[in-house]
A and B are shown apart, each in its own frame.
Chain A
């Protein structure tokens, strides 16, 4: 129940914050939220590092860590690349 409350409140915060992002930055917003959805890496780490789990579980965890890390590193870096383009010149 606690988890559900946290989830619902977080959706509301997300809604409030994201409606304020201007259309100019919608692509960086998407690549940035790609990076944030890489938070699945937490679950992946827990699986890949669990004590006494089968090698199959560890291997699945490894795959998940790889996928989530691509999202995180790729997502934050490409977002930064775009944002620097917006920054470098003012009218």
Chain B
């Protein structure tokens, strides 16, 4: 075995140990460091490889890329993590695409396996690049809704067919078929846009996870092109990670991957027509003030917060933690119930609350917290909607029936802090808001929580 493969083996082991370190918050920082060391070893080994002769372009690239990376990592706000991961997925895909094209212009010819790997590397890389850019734009709010291109299915089929034809033409003649490879890349760029543009905002967590996986698979394909085991192993690890996360997200929304990718909106048009409007809530909603809630909290022994992304939109993470601390000082047991899709990407809500210094052992995932609601005096729902709708559990005719929810309705009293009765992503009214044990506290989450904290302190 060449020494360079030995170096790649060491870095692969460090990546695996690094991911293993992410098994608990305590060992995670060290795991991340191990991964970084693994990457350093891989880079240094490659620089020393005998095939690498000129260093000007390489070092220029390393300096420019690292500088941009440092600035992005330091500047990004935790609420913007989905955007950052989305755009990083795109960079990863782009890197694989560009490496494929560059390799071809250097070597320009090899056997069939090589040609197939090259096609896959360019194809997955290109789809990941444009798909991620569209996902990023959607997360930024430039194109929030699912957009349908006229004759979308036809376009998709056409582009897929074009990719297949170009791939076959290239693989049959890799020596002179450079044009086909470049054409295939261009078509694949279009395909990436088309695949993601029709997917709605609610499904973005799945899409980011999936593109995360693609960026790994593109790297692995590049590994097959260069016959480089370092790339193959690392790409496979990332590919597996993304697939697992997208499965978890799908399960949390009761959606199949196919439905997310090809089904368009979460609620079909037929179902839309049968959704009740404002009359659903009329005369059945009880609203209350901060003092009333403070009194309830005063007499409570166990309080659970159920945060949703609305909390982050209102920038209310820190006030929430303030209220939680005040309650804990009075001897009340406080926990946070985290639905898997509470944020805009897997684990997002946990990061947002960790930033507000909520201890991580107070963040309890859905399956573990659900049995606790029946022993809870007050549950405070903060900017969460669909994931607390009991209809998903009780009403087989509901469009979201079967979606796992936080069973907040089982606690003695539910306080819903919300600006209005507007629907969530699913576009349906929430049964929870008209339940007997639910009180609505209308207002901006941040202001309301400040009032509430003051009221609790004054009691």
Mark out the residues of chain A between 5 and 31 whose CB falls within 8 Å of any chain B CB in the assembled complex.
6-8, 10-15, 17-31
By a CB distance below 8 angstroms, the chain A residues around B208 are 30
* Chain A 64-91 interface mask (CB, 8 Å, partner B; 1/0): 1111111111111111111111111111
B431 within 8 A of A: no
Considering only residues 40-81 of chain B, those with a C-beta below 8 Å from chain A are 42-43, 46-47, 49, 51-55, 57-58, 60-62, 64-66, 68-70, 72-74, 76, 78, 81
Of all chain A residues, which has the CB nearest B24?
A: A22
Residues A46 and B42 in contact in the complex (CB < 8 Å), given A29-B22, A64-B98, A73-B70: no
Among B219, B230, B362: residue with most chain A CB under 10 A: B219
Contacts of B106 in A (CB 8 A): 47, 50, 53-54, 57
Q: Of A14, A56, A59, which one neighbours B241 at CB under 8 angstroms?
A: A14
B234 with A36: CB separation less than 8 A: yes
B338 CB within 8 Å of chain A: yes
Query: Considering the complex, which residues of chain B in the window 99-134 have a beta carbon less than 8 Å from any beta carbon of chain A?
Result: 99, 101-103, 105-106
Residue from the list B25, B53, B57, B362 in contact with A87, Cβ < 8 A: B25
Report whether B240 and A14 are in contact in the complex, using a CB–CB cutoff of 8 Å.
yes
Minimum distance in angstroms from A25 CB to a CB of chain B: 5
Residue of B58, B74, B89, B244 touching A19 (CB-CB under 8 A)? B244
Note all chain A residues with C-beta closer than 8 A to B105.
53-54, 56-57, 60
CB contact between B69 and one of A6, A18, A47, A71 (< 8 Å): that residue: A71
Dominant secondary structure of chain B at its interface with chain A: helix
Q: Mark B232-253, 1 if CB is under 8 A from A, else 0.
A: 1111111111101100100000
| Chain B residue contacts of A40, Cβ below 8 A | 92, 95-96, 99, 218-219, 222, 231
The residues of B that contact A84 with a CB separation of less than 8 Å are: 29
User: Known: A43-B225, A70-B88, A75-B88. Is A36-B39 also a contact (CB below 8 A)?
Assistant: yes
**Tally of contact residues, A, Cβ under 8 A:** 83
A32 to B386 CA separation, bound complex (whole angstroms): 30
Assess whether A43 is in contact with B99, with CB atoms less than 8 Å apart: yes
Chain B residues, CB < 8 A from A45? 43, 46-47, 52, 58
CA distance A37 to B42 in the complex (A): 12
Q: Are A62 and B43 closer than 8 Å at their CB atoms?
A: no
Residue B190 interfacial (CB < 8 Å): no
Q: Which of B16, B36, B39 contacts A17 (CB 8 A)?
A: B16
Q: In the complex, identify which listed stretch (B263-271, B346-354, B403-411) lies at the interface while the others stay far away.
A: B346-354
Whether the pair B220, A68 counts as a contact (CB closer than 8 A) is no
B215 touches A (CB below 8 Å): yes
Q: How far is the CB of A4 from chain B (nearest CB, A)?
A: 8
Interface centre among B85, B209, B227, B362 (most CB of A within 10 A): B85
Q: How distant is the Cα of A85 from the Cα of B352 in the complex, in angstroms? A: 10
B300 within 8 Å of A (CB atoms): no
* Contact, CB under 8 Å: B216 / A33: yes
Partner of A81, one of B73, B236, B363: B73
A43–B68 CB distance below 8 A: no
Point out the residues of chain A lying under 8 angstroms from B33, CB to CB.
80
| Interface contact A10-B18, CB-CB below 8 Å | no
Q: Roughly how many angstroms separate A25 CA and B18 CA in the complex, as a whole number?
A: 13
Tell me, yes or no, whether B340 is within 8 Å of chain A by CB: yes
Contact A28 B347, CB 8 Å, known A21-B23, A44-B99: yes
Q: Please, which residues of chain A bring their CB within 8 A of the CB of B225? A: 43
CA distance A85 to B106 in the complex (A): 45
B429 at interface, CB cutoff 8 A: no
B88, B101, B236: the one contacting A11 at CB < 8 Å is B236
Give the docked Cα–Cα distance between A73 and B69 (Å).
5
Residues in A whose Cβ lies below 8 Å from that of B239: 11, 14
User: Within 8 Å CB of A44, what residues of B?
Assistant: 61, 95, 98-99, 102
* A40 smallest CB distance to B (angstroms): 4
The 3 closest A-B pairs by CB, nearest first: A69-B65, A65-B61, A26-B347
> 10 A-B pairs, CB-CB below 8 angstroms?
A7-B223, A21-B19, A29-B347, A37-B92, A40-B231, A45-B46, A46-B228, A47-B106, A67-B95, A70-B91
Binding site for A on B (CB under 8 A): 12, 15-16, 18-20, 22-26, 28-29, 32-33, 35-36, 39, 42-43, 46-47, 49, 51-55, 57-58, 60-62, 64-66, 68-70, 72-74, 76, 78, 81, 84-85, 88-89, 91-92, 94-96, 98-99, 101-103, 105-106, 208-209, 212, 215-216, 218-220, 222-242, 244-245, 248, 338, 340, 343, 345-348, 350-351, 354-355, 357-363, 365
